[in-house]
């Protein structure tokens, strides 16, 4: 798990269960996306909860989940170290 610590001591990450985040202090978790199929069985990762695009279509859910994590890592986690600092699901 990649943890980004801001200059004011807030921690940002893409949530998973590899680390008990409560050991770092109070936890605030927000949804970063929605991965859902369409009527034709194609998968999309809707990144709108963090102001991002709709990724896809993907033939498999696992492909959409991989794209979701890559987008969050590249566009939400590392570049935005300035104002907002919250853990994200």
Residue of higher predicted confidence among 52 and 86: 52
CA 23 from chain center: how many Å?
Answer: 20
Residue 83 pLDDT > 60, yes or no?
Answer: no
Q: Phi, psi at residue 20, to the nearest 5°?
A: -80, 100
Higher pLDDT, 34 or 4: 34
Q: What is the residue-averaged pLDDT of the chain?
A: 87
More confident residue, 59 or 80: 59
Q: Where are the domains of the chain?
A: 11-17+25-88
- What is the tens place of the pLDDT at every residue in 34-70? 999 999 999 999 999 999 999 999 999 999 999 999 9
What is the bridge-based pairing of β-strands 29-30 and 34-37? unpaired
């Amino acid at each position: 798990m990649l943890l980004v610590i801001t200059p004011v001591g807030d921690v940002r990450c893409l949530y998973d269960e590899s680390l008990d985040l409560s050991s770092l202090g109070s936890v605030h978790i927000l949804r970063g996306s929605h991965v859902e199929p369409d009527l034709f069985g194609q998968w999309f990762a809707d990144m709108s909860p963090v102001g991002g695009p709709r990724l896809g279509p993907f033939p498999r859910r696992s492909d959409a989940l991989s794209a979701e994590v890559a987008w969050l890592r590249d566009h939400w986690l590392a570049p935005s170290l300035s104002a907002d600092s919250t853990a994200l699901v």
